[in-house]
């Protein structure tokens, strides 16, 4: 069984990453012709390709639970695998994404994220880095665009519940948006370490949390909501 999972994972990587190369190579042309207006739907085409490859080669599919808001919000999502980062861009209709700055330095990929409207955040979480992140988020707000952040800062194993990083509070205060927390159990099927296994990843929108709450209350409510699936199953 493990050998079969390894073969399926290798097939997925070969097809998905090889297929992503020509998609990235066309990015400059897409950006030149249509800028962000075209880049968002173009990125969603890549998301659909990822969904197809995951379902075909890994046997991994998505169960999406909840209703999308009809107004701009700050999405705060659990982060257990790359899987949900690709899925959520499509499922949430293209919110501006908070990404680690080093990812935005990757040739072509970094350019694509900038045109898409990604918001860079530095690992050091210094005051100047947080100010830059908040400034970039203000651009998304001026466009009436939702923003998504992974408030734990990095991928964590399924079942882990680390505290939120300070960047979340800065975004929450500056944007003045209500928060929609997102729980997922993707680490059960596509763990950071180990081989993927077939299954259905749950992505669940939580109850909307109003804007303007005291920091500790907002963080506590978000932390509880994004971890409601943390006790399900195992990492796989």
pLDDT one-digit tens code per residue, 70-99: 999 999 999 999 999 999 999 999 999 998
- Is the confidence at residue 1, as pLDDT, over 70? no
Maximum mean pLDDT: which of 104-113, 129-138, 219-228? 219-228
Q: Hey, which residues does 119 pair with through a beta bridge?
A: 98
pLDDT digits (tens, 9 = 90+) for 7-43: 999 999 999 999 999 998 898 888 888 888 888 899 9
Residue 132, CA distances (Å) to 65, 166, 174 in order: 33, 14, 12
The per-residue pLDDT for 199 is: 96
Cα(111)–Cα(80) distance, rounded to whole angstroms?
A: 25
Report residue 41 as tokens: 């739907």
Q: Burial level of 11, CB count in 10 A (0-12/13-18/19+)?
A: middle
Report residue 157 as tokens: 């194993």
- Is the confidence at residue 144, as pLDDT, over 60? yes
pLDDT digits (tens, 9 = 90+) for 184-211: 999 999 998 889 999 999 999 999 999 9
Record the pTM: 0.92
How many helices and strands (H and E) does the chain possess?
7, 7
- Is the confidence at residue 176, as pLDDT, over 90? yes
Other beta carbons within 10 Å of 45: 11
How much of the chain, in percent, has pLDDT values that exceed 70? 96
Cα(59)–Cα(53) distance, rounded to whole angstroms?
A: 9
The pairing of beta strand 96-100 with beta strand 147-149: parallel
Which residue ranges form the domains of the chain, and what is each CATH number?
61-226 (3.40.1130.10)
Cα(68)–Cα(82) distance, rounded to whole angstroms?
A: 21
The per-residue pLDDT for 126 is: 66
The average confidence (pLDDT) of the chain is 90
- Is the confidence at residue 124, as pLDDT, over 70? no
Measure the CA dihedral 227/229/234/235, to 10°: -60
Residues 48, 186 contacting (CB under 8 angstroms)? no
The pairing of beta strand 119-121 with beta strand 60-65: unpaired
Maximum mean pLDDT: which of 2-6, 56-60, 92-96, 188-192? 56-60
């Amino acid at each position: 069984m493990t050998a079969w999972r390894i073969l399926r994972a290798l097939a997925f990587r070969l097809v998905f990453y090889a297929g992503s190369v020509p998609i990235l190579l066309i990015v400059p042309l897409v950006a030149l012709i249509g800028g962000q207006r075209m880049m968002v739907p173009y990125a969603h085409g890549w998301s659909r390709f990822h969904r197809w490859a995951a379902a075909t080669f890994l046997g991994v599919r998505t169960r999406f639970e909840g209703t999308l808001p009809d107004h701009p919000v700050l999405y705060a999502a659990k982060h257990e695998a790359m899987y949900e980062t690709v899925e959520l861009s499509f499922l949430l209709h293209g919110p501006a994404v908070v990404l680690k700055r080093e990812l935005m330095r990757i040739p072509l990929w970094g350019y694509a994220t900038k045109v898409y409207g990604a918001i860079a955040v530095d690992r050091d979480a210094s005051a100047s880095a947080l100010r830059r992140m908040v400034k970039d988020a203000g651009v998304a707000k001026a466009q009436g665009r939702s923003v998504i952040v992974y408030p734990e800062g990095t991928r964590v194993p399924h079942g882990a519940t680390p505290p939120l990083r300070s960047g979340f509070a800065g975004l929450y205060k500056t944007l003045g948006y209500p928060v929609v927390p997102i729980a997922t159990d993707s680490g059960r099927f596509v763990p950071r370490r180990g081989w993927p296994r077939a299954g259905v990843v749950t992505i669940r929108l939580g109850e909307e949390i109003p804007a303007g709450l005291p920091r500790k209350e907002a963080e506590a409510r978000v932390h509880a909501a994004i971890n409601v699936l943390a006790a399900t199953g195992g990492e796989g």
